[in-house]
Structure 1
Amino acid sequence: MPLTWAIYFNMHARFYHPSKITIGQIVELSAENKHHAARVLRLKAGDSITLFSGDGGEFSAHIQTISKSSTAVLIDAYHDIDCESSLHIELAQAICVNEKMDWIIQKAVELGVTCVQPITTDRSIVHLSDERSSKRLQHWQKIVISACEQCGRNLIPHVLPLISLPQWLSQKKTTRSAHDVHLMLSTTATKGLREIPKPPTDANLALVIGPEGGFTQEEEATILHTGTGFIPLRLGKRILRTESAALAAIAAIQALWGDY
């Protein structure tokens, strides 16, 4: 068996537990995690698992009892494991149809973003009421947690409440420091990542991606000329779909400046 596959199959199942965890504690898994452990992973009493609370680090544990109604695990030890990128990346993504947005958020978390800011734009196809927006936010945060369980991250990135592009730009204008790097993916841009100086280690990176139809000319002008310091960025000679653009850009940023 190739080494990479051997490592994969030897990994313990990872579960997010939102409450404080201490060594020696007996923890009852949530209904969702209980079902996943018993019915999907087919775990049994004595099997080793990993729990994390989202505050950093993780805990090794083993299953004491497992049944249809209850799964209790005993916490064995704490491990100070940090899988976070050296970069602080905020992804501002124009909302798109459900499956695409779910995919973007899931993969962006795996690639190491610190937070995701959904935004509405002039060409956004999806329009959410306050109630639907709140439900989608809860749904997206569950996707974030699931991605962290899969990829080994022990700090939970946040999906921020949906706001408009002008509202987000106003926030960036008031919070931006001199070291921060703000990037806008654009088909009319002439610069690639290699032409942008590497940011200092304490810089915050913001990457804004348009909807399926892209930003309007007026929106691009607003992004570039409202004192937010955005740099228009092009990834190669091809036009990427919105669900590809953010992920390609984050991967390239991690390769040039981050932990790849």
Structure 2
Amino acid sequence: MTRIFHTSTITENSQLTLDDEAFNHVVRVLRMKEGDILTLFDGTNYTFQATLESITKKQAIVAVGAGQFDNRESPLNIHLGQVISRGDKMDFTIQKSVELGVNTITPLFSERCGVRLDDDRLSKKIQQWQKIVISACEQCGRNQIPVVKPAMNVEQWCSDLAEGLKLNLHPRATQSINTLEIHSNNIHLLIGPEGGLSDLEISQAEKQGFMGMLLGPRILRTETAALTAITALQTKFGDLG
């Protein structure tokens, strides 16, 4: 069943017009026809079966049926602080972290971050990453939409966080996720850049309550580290397994 995110609240047993992106995907990419059925969701954990009622060159109107509560969220509330990586690696990390259940993503700049973006390009990147989040939710069945927050530097992110378990993955750490005990479902996960966080940044994170964590004897790439850590946390404390 084709799943489409609708940007505004859906009212059951009603009609609505698909927004431009949904129209393009449903009509121009998937080439769906009048009478075809799709599933809509609006980020409230409800899904709605809908029928394509009318299609023109510029819009598609659907008839919405009854809503059904469908919560597929993990019991863990994971906030990923990911130093921005080059090329499509950041896109990949965001997509897969959403599939694995991350709730919030903050792109970060660090001393060894190899990406430099002016304000305009950064704003466009944030919008692009949010679209990747939505697409991942449509694919994996999540009915709440994680948020990509404005980018900031590592030190600011560490100091601005609310209470919860704070983990910093780096190869010089001595503790393991396997020995970890949690007393809060709120987890803040810091992942450094391809060159790693500097000693100063690691020290600053520790002062803000971050615990150094090690995934194993091998040094992982930044995108591998993020997804492996999220998987380990979800397997041990969440809903994987």
TM-score, structure 2 as length reference: 0.95
CA drift of 1:67 comes to 4.0
For structure 2, the residue ranges without an aligned partner over 5 or more in a row are none
**Structure 2 match to 1:4:** none
User: After TM superposition, which residue ranges in structure 1, 4 or more long, deviate above 3 angstroms?
Assistant: none
Amino acid at match of 2:173: A
Which one of the candidate residues 228, 231, 234 is aligned to 2:214? 234
Kindly report the root-mean-square deviation, in angstroms, between the aligned alpha carbons of the 2 structures.
Answer: 1.3
SS at match of 2:111: coil
Q: Which moved more, 1:58-67 or 1:97-106?
A: 58-67
CA drift of 1:144 comes to 0.8
**Structure 2 match to 1:76:** 65
Amino acid at match of 2:171: T
**Structure 1 match to 2:124:** 135
Q: Residues of 2 paired with 1:129 and 1:42: CA distance?
A: 38
SS at match of 1:189: coil
Which one of the candidate residues 76, 84, 99 is aligned to 1:110? 99
**Structure 2 match to 1:65:** 54
Which one of the candidate residues 189, 210, 215 is aligned to 1:207? 189
Amino acid at match of 1:206: H
Amino acid at match of 1:214: G
Q: Deviations over 1:47-104 (max 9, x none)?
A: 1111111122111111112343221110011010001011000000001114111111
The aligned runs of 1:1-260 (5 Å cut-off) are 12-172=1-161, 175-176=162-163, 180-197=164-181, 199-200=182-183, 202-224=184-206, 226=207, 228-260=208-240
Q: Percent identity?
A: 44
Equivalent pairs, count: 240
SS at match of 1:161: coil
Q: Residues of 2 paired with 1:58 and 1:14: CA distance?
A: 9
Q: Deviations over 1:189-239 (max 9, x none)?
A: 122111111x23x53101000001011111111111x1x221111111111
CA drift of 1:38 comes to 2.0
TM-score, structure 1 as length reference: 0.89
Maintained 8 Å contact 2:48/2:68:
yes
Q: Deviations over 1:132-179 (max 9, x none)?
A: 22111111111111111111111111001011111112113xx32xxx
Q: Residues of 1 paired with 2:127 and 2:139: CA distance?
A: 19
For structure 1, the residue ranges without an aligned partner over 5 or more in a row are 1-11
Maintained 8 Å contact 1:187/1:234:
yes
